[in-house]
Structures are given as structure tokens and as C-alpha cells.
Amino acid sequence: MRHSGLDADGHVYVAVIKATKISGSILQGRVVHSHVFEGSLEHDIYVSNALIDMYANVCCLEDAHNIFERSSKLDVVTWNSFISGLLRHGYEEKALTYFQQMQLGGIQATAITFSCILKSCSNLMNRNQGMLIHMLVLEVGYDSDSCLFNTLLDFYLRCCSSCDALVMCRKCVNRNLVTWNIMVSGLVKQGDSDKALGCWADFLREGGNPDRISFLSSLKACGSLGALYEGRLIHAQILEIDLNTDTSIVNTLMDMYCGCGAIDDAYRVFVSLPKEDVVAWNVMMKGILQSGHSWDSLQLFRRMQLECFLPTGFSYVCAFNVIANFLGLILGKALHACVLAYSHIIDMQLRNALIDMYLKCDDLYGAHKFFNRSPQQDMATWNTMLAGFVEHDNAEQALELFGALFQAGLEPDRITIILILKVCTTIAALDEGKTIHAYVIDLGMESKTSIVNVIIDMYSKWESMDDSQCVFDKSHKRDVVTWSALMSGYAQQGEYKFVMNIYKTMDQEGVKPDAITLACILSAYCQVGEVKEAHGFLNKVSEISGVHLGIEHHNHLVDLLGRAGYLLESKQILDIMSHHPNSIGWSSLLAHCCTHGNIDLGKICLSRISETDEEYLTGLVLISNLYTESHD
């Protein structure tokens, strides 16, 4: 057209710019832009909008911004093009800033604008800002727009407000397939698989026709819940509409059956594949491994290679997990050598699996060596190595690694903090523990219950009950572990009244005790010799709370009765225990027989101890002392 001497108008340039956007060619886009500039059409609002949209699409945001700033007239399309470009390339904060400027400029937002801003809020997990946008949507009457409504549902689900999303979905009269897909997939991602299956059932009752996305989400829900019956019904639907050749659906089907523990069903799907892919092999290996058949998983890994499928990084992760379970260091090193030949598949997950394998095979040196040589390390890598030092009681290297983490410019996460606090607790590193506690407060992690529990336990084990109580009092979310950690500290110091008062408060707040709680209370009773109260309390609480009484609880009671001289009663408890009697209980009773001079019962205790082949020599020493004392 230009070669013919004809001048293109704005409509032509808009069409050409749109075509350039589709092609994704930056060079062509700049050429067209230069022609627009030559033709003095840059201030044509339709042309400038098309240019902004094109540059935003190919991530030339600076060029898009320059045109945006030079535009003499900005309409809602201009703002939408620029804001959507910012969102598309991960500039959510800037998108929100420009939306605010748009409002201040008096430009009325459209449904497209609101959808873009809600997606920004979703990506930022900014629930408060998103709720304000929702209010604006209601004010301008856009809530009936189906696309915008679906974006709102997605926002609430991604911001962990599944209840709000469910209420909105139930009230909506114009639900479509996209609505239900967003609900089911969103609930599955939030861990609400039971609610996801409820939505799936509602969708089917309304006569909905599921598509590929619907089946993928519902199968994931069944797998996470272990809902085998529902999973088989969905499988039947998939067969009816001939979707059983779709690779993603077949792999998800296998994963669902593995999640439900139906390995045979998963394997039948696997062997029925007309052509397996490497993902199918990986799904099958992972499922077999998780079902506890580790060796079978390794055999499948070998068969995969024999059938000329090149293992991926995840394939090797499964294999290393098996080797770690079997403590096969030689095999692990051989497989490590194979991995090095395919260095392109070594990702972060595989590196972490390798370190974990060396640690579980008790090769701390090998794990640390590989850790130091790794070119990339994420927090999972550091945590795996740190957990290895903790597991191998290597507190000094654990503390050194924790210091190195900061030097590497990383910030510890919840798991890191818990691990290092346990190290400080074990070696009674008071100064380091208090420093880390202060760091937890600076990070704003003191609201995390799991961290609070470890801090309380740390101070309790250091017999620093004032600090332990202070942390407990400041905690807003307390679970049974929080209460038990505090009670354990007071029990260790023989503070019987404190333990009982804490339990009463715990009971009033509706927190049910667990086995550790009962052990703490029994320990407190042992300290003060309250025999009848302990026996009555144990039976009453276990009956009300449904806590299973373990060997530890019976042993506490045996020790308590023995201290008070109730030797026959102690023996009766050990005789009628539903568990196999253990050497600790009988050794405890034998010690009390020595104290109270009961030789006959002492002989019985020694006989029972010998049956377990544990503590037998200790028992012989005790019974020898008993004979000696009886003849003095």
C-alpha cells in the first residue's frame, strides 16, 4: 500500500498493529510504530491504544509506558491495555497503582478493568484490597457479568476464603461450566477436597457436562480424600465420553487410584495405555513408593530403562527415596554417578533427594560434600542438610550451617527456625536460643503455633519457666501441643499445682488432651505421690477424651503406685495391660520391690524382664541388692 503511494489511515494501522501483536515480532512492531510516527498518527487514541497493547504483549513495558505518558487523551481502553500488560508480566503492585490513578482521573472502570485488578490482588494474596474492589463492583452493578463473577470466585479461593466463594456460588443463578471448574479446582488447591466433591455433585445434579478440566480437578479431589468409590464413578464417565486417551487425564486417573491405595487399579490403567509416556512411569513409581512397596518401585524404575524410556529428574527422585529407605549407600552412589551423566536433569528437587539419601544412609560427610558443591540451593536444600545435622546430633555444624544461611543472603523459614531451636534446646545453648527467639519476633513469626510450641518447650527444658509462661501468655493460637509443652516444664520441676491449674484452664477452653498431656499430668502426680487421684484421673480423662492409654501412661501409674507401696496393685496393672508388658514397667516395679523388701514379687519382675531380653543385667543387680539387704 505504501509502495503504491497511498497513505494509510488510523484504521489500517490499528489492523496492522493487531496483526503484529499476534506475530509477537518486536522488530516488526517498531517498524510499524515508526510509520505511525511519520504519519503523525501517534496521538490517534485508537492507534495509541493498539500500540500500548502490542508493546505490553511483547513485554516492552517501557515503550508502552512512554506512549501512555505522551497520549493527550486517555480512555478506559488505554488504561485497560496498560494495566493488563503490567499484570501479564508480573507487575501487580504497579497495576494497582495505575488503577488508583485511573480512579482519581475520573475514568469509569469496566468489567475488564475489575477483572485485571482482582487477578492482581489474587497474585499478591491481598484479600483486603480485593474485597474493596468487590464492593466497587457491586456499586457499579457489574456483579451480573459472568466473567467478572468467575474472577471474583477465583480471587476468594486463591486468598483462602473458600467459605465466601461457596456462599457466592450458591447464590449465583447464572453458573456456567467455567464457574464450576473454578470452584472445584480452587477448593482442591486449598485442601478442601471434600467441599470440591460436593460442588462436583451439585454440578452433575444441575445437568452439567464436564470437560477435561472438570475431570482433572475432580480426580485430584478423589485422590487426596481417598474417595475410591467416587473416583471409579468419574472413571466410568471418562470412558463414556471417550476421554481415556487423553494423556493428562490418564495420568491423573493413575494418581487418583494410587492416592486411594488401589495400586492394582492404577496398574491396570497403566498397562492399558496404548503408548506410555515418561510421566505415566513416574506416576506409577511414585504411587507404588507411597503405598509402601519401595522395592517394587525400584524394579519399575529399572524396567522403565530397559524399555528405553529416559528417566527424568523425578524418576531419580523416586529411586533415591527407595534407596534411602533401604539404606543402600553403594547403590545410591552408583545411581548418583548415572545422574551425573545426565546433568541437564539435575534440578533442585533431585539435589535435595540426593542429600536426603546420603543422610538417611548415615553418610553425613557425603551429604555435606554434595551440599557444598551444589550450584543452587533453595530453602528446602538448607533445611534438609540442617535436619541431617540435627538427626545425627551434630549441633556444632548445625549452628554453623544456620550462620552460613544468612551469609548466603537467605532468610530462614518456619522449618529452619524449628530445627535450629531444637538444636539450642538439646545442647542448652541459652544465648543462641534467646537470640533466635528475638529474631522470630523481628520476623513476625511469633504468631505461628508450631514455632511457639518449640520455644515454650525450649524454655521449659531449660527450667526457665518464667520465659516459657510469658511466651505461652502472649500466644493467641494454642493447640494441645502448646498446653502440653508448658505442662511438661512445670511437671519436670514438680510443680503439681501449676500442672493441674493449666489442665483445668485447658479443659475450660475446650482443648482435648492427648497422650502427652496425660503423661505430663501423671508425672506431676508421681512427684507428689497422689495415688488415688492419679488412678481416677487417668480412667476418667481417657474415657471422656477417648485418648488411647499407652505403655508410657501405665508405666507412670506403676511408678506412682510403687512409690506409695502399692506393689500388688502395680503388678495387676502390668498384668492386665492391653499392650505387651515392657521392661521399663517391670524394672520400675522391681526397683520399688527393693525399696519395700518384697523378694517374691522381685523374682517375678526379674522373670518378666528376662522375657524381653532388655535391662536383664540391671534386673540382676537389683535382685542381688534385694537379697543382700534382706539378709543384713
- For 541-595, write each residue's pLDDT tens digit: 656 555 556 677 677 777 767 876 778 877 877 876 645 656 788 888 888 888 8
Task: Give the model's confidence band at 3: pLDDT under 50 very low, under 70 low, under 90 confident, else very high.
Answer: very low
Total count of residues recorded for the chain: 632
Q: What pLDDT, on the 0 to 100 scale, is given for residue 471?
A: 92
Q: How far apart are CA 161 and CA 195, in angstroms?
A: 13
Q: Percent of the chain having pLDDT more than 90? A: 33
Higher-confidence residue of 274 and 499: namely 499
Note the pLDDT tens digit of each residue in 283-324. 999 999 888 888 888 888 888 888 888 888 888 888 888 888
Q: Which residues, including other chains, have CB under 8 Å from residue 88's CB and lie 6 or more apart?
A: 56, 57
Q: How far apart are CA 517 and CA 519, in angstroms?
A: 5
Determine whether 14 is exposed, middle or buried from the number of CB atoms within 10 Å of its CB (0-12, 13-18, 19+): buried
Tell me 142's DSSP state: G
Q: What pLDDT, on the 0 to 100 scale, is given for residue 272?
A: 85
Q: What pLDDT, on the 0 to 100 scale, is given for residue 1?
A: 45
pLDDT exceeds cutoff 50 at 463? yes
Q: What pLDDT, on the 0 to 100 scale, is given for residue 106?
A: 86
pLDDT exceeds cutoff 60 at 160? yes
- Return the domain boundaries, the chain: 175-275
CA 16 to chain centre: 48
Note the pLDDT tens digit of each residue in 340-383. 877 677 888 889 899 999 998 889 999 999 999 888 888 999 99
Tell me 590's DSSP state: H
pLDDT exceeds cutoff 60 at 240? yes
Which H, E and C letters describe 247-271, residue by residue? HHHHHHHHHHHHHCCCHHHHHHHHH
Give the mean model confidence (pLDDT) for residues 614-619. Answer: 50
Q: How far apart are CA 474 and CA 34, in angstroms?
A: 64
Give the mean model confidence (pLDDT) for residues 93-106. Answer: 88
Higher-confidence residue of 195 and 549: namely 195
pLDDT exceeds cutoff 50 at 610? yes
Q: What pLDDT, on the 0 to 100 scale, is given for residue 543?
A: 60
Q: Which residue has the cell 463473577?
A: 149
Weakest mean pLDDT among 397-406, 413-422, 450-459, 591-600: 591-600
Give the mean model confidence (pLDDT) for residues 466-493. Answer: 89
The three grid cell numbers given for residue 629, joined into one nine-digit string:
539387704
Query: What pTM was estimated for this model as a whole?
Result: 0.68
Question: Is the separation of the CB atoms in 281 and 300 below 8 Å?
Answer: yes
Give the mean model confidence (pLDDT) for residues 498-506. Answer: 88
Q: How far apart are CA 13 and CA 31, in angstroms?
A: 12
Q: How far apart are CA 214 and CA 220, in angstroms?
A: 10
Higher-confidence residue of 107 and 216: namely 216
Task: Give the model's confidence band at 39: pLDDT under 50 very low, under 70 low, under 90 confident, else very high.
Answer: low
Give the mean model confidence (pLDDT) for residues 187-215. Answer: 93
Mean pLDDT of the chain: 83
